[in-house]
């Protein structure tokens, strides 16, 4: 082999080695947070206490606090965007957002078009009605003139399963505030939606004289954080961060902030008041 051929062969081998090293580095870091990337998190901020807008128009709520805690624990950055419920999943699929956290129930149907993290919250569907109105079973829903739901949410799926998807008795709305407002105005007889959201509404609107009822027809559901189908790296990153937040006790603190019972709050306040000033 002459000198020119030897040099050419050496250069080719060097290039091949560098290429192989580069590929290995990429594979090894594919599940790690990207330091220079800000993950775009979409939510429909009409789902308190999980998402709502503050006076400055910023998204706030349980999901926001949880995601911020996860970002801190996992070493990644996030930014939040409020958008209509029916645009969340198309935006995820099209690449306009990286993550959806918006009280999204994990269902087999949704898992066909997106991937989910481990569950992070458990709920069921409940029936919101004016106080004094009796609802003992699904048959009572079938006998109502109008039942309100939010289009595409699991309340919609549950009522559609009971009454039939095209039943004219089902009144569909774009958001929880809109369907509840319709109930307040007498436009629907009942609303079916997520237990934690409805409980939050009843608690914070005592003058509306509303109550909610749990029916055996509705099963337990789990919320998950959604990402694009096949984005295993982001799922892994989020699951690892969620575990850290749970293990550290931060999840429990966030949960207590939004869902502590009044009795628990009163007991905590009483206990704090009884402590020496220096210990507070």
Q: What's CA 233's distance to the chain center, in Å?
A: 19
**pLDDT at 31 (0 to 100):** 58
Dist. CA 224–CA 76, nearest whole Å: 19
What confidence score (pLDDT) does residue 272 get? 39
The CATH number given to 123-220 is 3.40.190.10
136 three-state secondary structure? coil
Domain ranges across the chain: 38-122+222-258, 123-220
Peptide bond into 49 cis (omega under 30): yes
- For the domain 38-122+222-258, what is the CATH code? 3.40.190.10
Tell me, what's the pLDDT at 6? 45
Q: 198 with 128: CB under 8 angstroms?
A: yes
Query: Which tokens in the block code for residue 115?
Result: 């991937």
Question: How many residues would you count in the chain?
Answer: 280
Fold agreement between 38-122+222-258 and 123-220: yes
Let me know: does 95 contact 216? Beta carbons within 8 Å.
Answer: no
pLDDT tens for each residue of the chain, 280 residues long: 544 444 445 444 444 444 444 333 333 345 567 768 999 999 999 999 999 999 999 999 999 999 999 999 999 999 999 999 999 999 999 999 999 999 999 999 999 999 999 999 999 999 999 999 999 988 899 999 999 999 999 999 999 999 999 999 999 999 999 999 999 999 999 999 999 999 999 999 999 999 999 998 899 999 999 999 999 999 999 999 999 999 999 999 999 999 966 444 333 333 334 344 333 3
> Which residues contact residue 18 at a Cβ distance below 8 angstroms, ignoring those fewer than 6 apart?
none
User: Left, alpha or beta for 132 (phi > 0: left; psi -120 to 50: alpha)?
Assistant: left
Assess contact for 124 and 219: CB atoms under 8 A: yes
């Amino acid at each position: 082999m002459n000198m020119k051929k030897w040099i050419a062969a050496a250069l080719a081998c060097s290039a091949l080695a560098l290429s192989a090293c580069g590929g290995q580095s990429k594979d090894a870091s594919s599940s790690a947070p990207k330091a220079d990337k800000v993950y775009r998190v979409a939510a429909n901020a009409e789902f308190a206490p999980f998402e709502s807008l503050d006076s400055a128009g910023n998204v706030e709520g349980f999901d926001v606090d949880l995601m911020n805690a996860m970002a801190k624990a996992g070493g990644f950055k996030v930014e939040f965007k409020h958008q209509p419920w029916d645009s969340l999943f198309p935006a995820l699929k099209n690449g306009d957002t990286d993550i959806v956290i918006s009280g999204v129930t994990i269902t087999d149907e949704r898992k066909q078009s997106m991937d989910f993290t481990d569950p992070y919250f458990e709920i069921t569907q409940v029936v919101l009605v004016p106080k004094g109105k009796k609802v003992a079973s699904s048959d009572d829903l079938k006998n109502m003139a109008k039942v309100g739901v939010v289009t595409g949410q699991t309340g919609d799926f549950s009522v559609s399963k009971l009454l039939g998807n095209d039943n004219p008795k089902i009144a569909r709305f774009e958001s929880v505030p809109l369907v509840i407002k319709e109930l307040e105005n007498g436009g629907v007889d009942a609303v079916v939606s997520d237990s934690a959201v409805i409980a939050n509404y009843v608690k914070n609107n005592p003058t509306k004289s509303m109550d909610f009822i749990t029916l055996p027809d509705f099963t337990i559901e789990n919320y998950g954080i959604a990402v694009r189908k096949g984005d295993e790296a982001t799922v892994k990153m989020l699951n690892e961060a969620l575990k850290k937040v749970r293990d550290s006790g931060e999840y429990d603190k966030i949960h207590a902030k939004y869902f502590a019972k009044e009795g628990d709050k009163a007991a905590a306040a009483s206990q704090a008041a009884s402590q020496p000033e220096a210990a507070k």
